[in-house]
């Protein structure tokens, strides 16, 4: 019987033939599985690895299912989840992988398919299948940045890395530094945010989120996860809130939504990356580009801007009427409990949309329109730009304009819900008497950020080169770890449980004026959420920033260490793979300003008896649950995502201080940026 861990070797060196060695291991591929080029010389190519091979993996010769649909996408084309044609192709390949009866059969079909289907399509479909098949769920998928490093770093660095790996022996290789300012100069104000948009961890988070939450598959259970539509809304809303905090940290105003689809896009973007699969540069978008109707026969795309506008108007009409119409003509209420989930599935849109014919495919098609703005008719045979791929979209400034626009539609629904009442917010008998946050040995209520240089191993993605580690060194934002100290009083005579919710937002707007809560609530970034037991009388709660329910640590973002793995076969190991989904811990707080960015830190203790979801959460993969949920479980909080800031405040609570009930408290926090660079200590 095949060892399921061998399947992970199929991710390595994605453009090399499958029979080439992978970490001193080779697949013994049946001659009939070889492509036409290599079948006549099978003895010659299959014996190439020679004496260096330590393990040979037998591959059974079985009858192969029909792969014509997955093979209809060329090996050297770009693959995009935002294109309906590509989603259908991926859905078919996922079905084939899911329907294999045993790991042995899956291995045979995957080996056969690997040299025949598009490498990025293969990676995505096999990843989704391994995450969702019961017999492969314990596998730890390699980081996408290791397999396709070209999607994350400057193409000039790729050339230097190739030279280093070709000339220098593995033990003597040096990391190649990725320059900090390679996509634009300081003449472009938007480039001040390079460290957020081009951060490896943030782009990996976005890719992994869409891997865990695919929007197309014939097996509905792969898509229909608990509160999936609401999570789509909330994760992206939080990205925009965080981006706006970073803009304030760079003396820029909040991002303007891309409200008028017929306006030009002021910002240009020049990615300066090459696709190793397509052997083409990622196309740029020039300043003041306008969207055009799409008519690309090769991509089966024939969509007009008018279609997007009609879908948008129908979604707004549904929000204002308070219901959507499903495909049978039934009304589904957009109520307080499930309305946001329905809207999320409809706007994205996934196969869970109540009516794709009526409400269309707004979010995905927006990405597609923008990504083809440079060549809408395929006249120049150009592929899509970075907005067309989930692993690169967040690099482009227009991503944030588009998602601010999408968030505006969600907020239209949220603004029509009744404000939370005192009774829905208060926790009778529980009061917060003090909050302090401090870095180790630092000033109270002052947080510090700086630059850090870290190394990441990209060797799995370097094809047709000598084996061994290939390290790139990149600069990223980092902060001094800090601890929250929260004093909570329990006036009752018995132990009670509370759900602590921590948020932060800038105090002032772009004009340095104090923000009204109706605006400030949209800039509240969730920092943490956790359960506490409260004994009668005073309680002091301490919580480290590294324990955040939003983030995952550096090692799990890049996943190139086998350290800290749970025991093989344990329930904890089943959830380990899900751990790749989570906001990177080094980006937990905004950069701040040299003179200090003034923020409100908000802490609330809600009644856990009202909020709890009764389920067993084994392992450590519920620890980034705020943005990612928990694998094969319900979302671990009964309240709406973003509570208590997901709705307009009640009458009289025009400022945050007026919103507070006794179980809430705020403290002024200053985030200072120290413009120095330190190496990461392993």
Structure tokens at 413: 């629904």
Structure tokens at 632: 């094969």
- Let me know: does 623 contact 664? Beta carbons within 8 Å: no
What is the distance between the alpha carbons of residues 642 and 271, in angstroms, rounded to a whole number? 33
Burial class (CB in 10 A: 0-12, 13-18, 19+), 172: exposed
- Let me know: does 610 contact 654? Beta carbons within 8 Å: no
Q: How far is CA 225 from CA 214, 221, 492, 573, in A?
A: 10, 7, 38, 20
What is the distance between the alpha carbons of residues 405 and 397, in angstroms, rounded to a whole number? 13
Residue for token pair 């799995």:
460
Strands 551-552 and 583-584 come out as parallel
Q: Confirm whether 348 is a catalytic residue.
A: yes
Structure tokens at 163: 């030279």
- Let me know: does 389 contact 123? Beta carbons within 8 Å: no
**What is the chain's alpha carbon radius of gyration, rounded to the nearest angstrom?**
25
**How many residues make up the chain in this entry?**
682
Q: What angle do CA 498, 504, 510 make, to 5 degrees?
A: 155
| Positions of E strands within 308-367 | 323-325, 331-333
Query: In this structure, what DSSP letter does residue 16 have?
Result: S
Q: Phi and psi of 492, rounded to 5°?
A: -80, 170
Residue of 631, 549, 561, 622 whose CA lies nearest to 588: 549
Selecting among 216, 348, 526, 575, the annotated active-site residue is 348
Structure tokens at 573: 């190991």
| 108: three-class secondary structure by DSSP | helix
Longest dimension (CA), the chain: 83
- Let me know: does 169 contact 223? Beta carbons within 8 Å: no
Label residues 215-235 b or e (16+ Cβ within 10 Å = b).
bbbeeeebbebebbbbbbbbb
Active site members: 348
């Amino acid at each position: 019987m095949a060892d399921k861990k061998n399947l992970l070797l199929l991710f390595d060196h994605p453009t090399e033939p499958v029979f080439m060695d992978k970490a001193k291991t080779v697949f013994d591929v049946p001659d009939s599985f070889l492509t036409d080029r290599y079948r006549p010389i099978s003895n010659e190519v299959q014996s190439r690895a020679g004496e260096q091979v330590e393990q040979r993996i037998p591959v059974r010769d079985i009858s192969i299912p029909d792969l014509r649909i997955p093979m209809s996408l060329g090996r050297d084309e770009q693959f995009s989840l935002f294109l309906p044609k590509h989603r259908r192709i991926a859905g078919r390949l996922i079905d084939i992988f899911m329907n294999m009866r045993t790991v042995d059969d899956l291995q045979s079909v995957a080996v056969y398919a690997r040299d025949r289907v598009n490498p990025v399509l293969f990676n995505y479909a096999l990843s989704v299948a391994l995450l969702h098949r019961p017999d492969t769920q314990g596998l730890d998928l390699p980081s996408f940045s290791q397999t396709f490093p070209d999607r994350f770093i400057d193409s000039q660095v790729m050339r230097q890395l190739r030279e280093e790996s070709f000339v220098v022996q593995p033990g003597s290789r040096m990391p190649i530094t990725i320059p900090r300012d390679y996509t634009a100069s300081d003449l472009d104000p938007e480039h001040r945010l390079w460290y957020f948009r081009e951060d490896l961890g943030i782009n990996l988070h976005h890719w992994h989120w869409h891997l865990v939450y695919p929007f197309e598959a014939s097996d509905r259970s792969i898509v229909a996860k608990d509160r999936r539509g609401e999570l789509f809304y909330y994760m992206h809303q939080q990205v925009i809130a965080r981006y706006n905090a970073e803009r304030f940290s760079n003396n820029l105003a909040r991002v303007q939504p891309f409200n008028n689809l017929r306006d030009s896009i002021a910002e240009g973007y020049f990615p300066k990356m090459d696709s190793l699969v397509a052997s083409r540069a990622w196309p740029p978008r020039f300043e003041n580009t306008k969207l055009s109707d799409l008519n690309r026969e090769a991509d089966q795309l024939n969509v007009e801007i008018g279609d997007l506008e009609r879908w948008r108007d129908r979604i707004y009409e549904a929000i204002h009427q308070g219901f959507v119409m499903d495909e049978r003509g039934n009304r589904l209420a957009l109520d307080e409990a499930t309305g946001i989930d329905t809207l999320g599935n409809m706007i994205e849109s996934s196969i869970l949309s109540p009516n794709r014919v009526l409400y269309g495919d707004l979010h995905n098609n927006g990405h597609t329109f923008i990504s083809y703005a440079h060549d809408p008719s395929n006249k120049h045979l150009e592929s899509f730009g970075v907005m067309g791929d989930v692993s690169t979209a967040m690099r482009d400034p227009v991503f944030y304009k588009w998602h601010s626009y999408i968030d505006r539609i969600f907020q239209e629904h949220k603004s029509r819900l009744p404000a939370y009442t005192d009774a829905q917010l208060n926790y009778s008998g529980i009061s917060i008497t003090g909050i302090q946050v401090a870095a180790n040995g630092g000033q109270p209520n002052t947080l510090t950020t700086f630059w850090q240089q870290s190394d990441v191993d990209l060797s799995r993605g370097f094809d047709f080169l000598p084996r061994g580690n290939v390290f790139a060194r990149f600069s990223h934002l980092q902060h001094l770890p800090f601890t929250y100290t929260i004093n909570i009083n329990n006036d009752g005579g018995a132990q009670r449980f509370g759900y602590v919710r921590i948020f932060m937002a800038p105090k002032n707007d772009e004009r340095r004026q104090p923000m009204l809560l109706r605006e400030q609530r949209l800039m509240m970034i969730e920092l943490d959420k956790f359960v506490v037991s409260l004994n009668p009388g005073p309680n002091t709660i301490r919580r480290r920033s590294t324990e955040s329910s939003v983030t995952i640590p550096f090692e799990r973002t890049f996943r190139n260490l086998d350290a800290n793995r749970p025991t093989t076969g344990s329930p904890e190991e089943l959830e380990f793979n899900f751990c790749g989904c989570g906001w990177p811990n080094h980006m937990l707080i905004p950069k701040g300003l040299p003179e200090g960015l003034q923020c409100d830190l908000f802490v609330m203790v809600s009644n856990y008896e009202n909020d709890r979801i009764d389920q067993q959460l084994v392992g450590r993969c519920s620890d980034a649950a705020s943005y990612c949920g928990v694998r094969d479980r319900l979302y671990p909080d009964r309240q709406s995502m973003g509570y208590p800031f997901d709705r307009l405040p009640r009458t009289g609570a025009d400022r945050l201080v007026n919103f507070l009930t006794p179980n809430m408290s705020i403290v002024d926090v200053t985030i200072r940026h120290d413009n120095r660079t330190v190496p990461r200590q392993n």
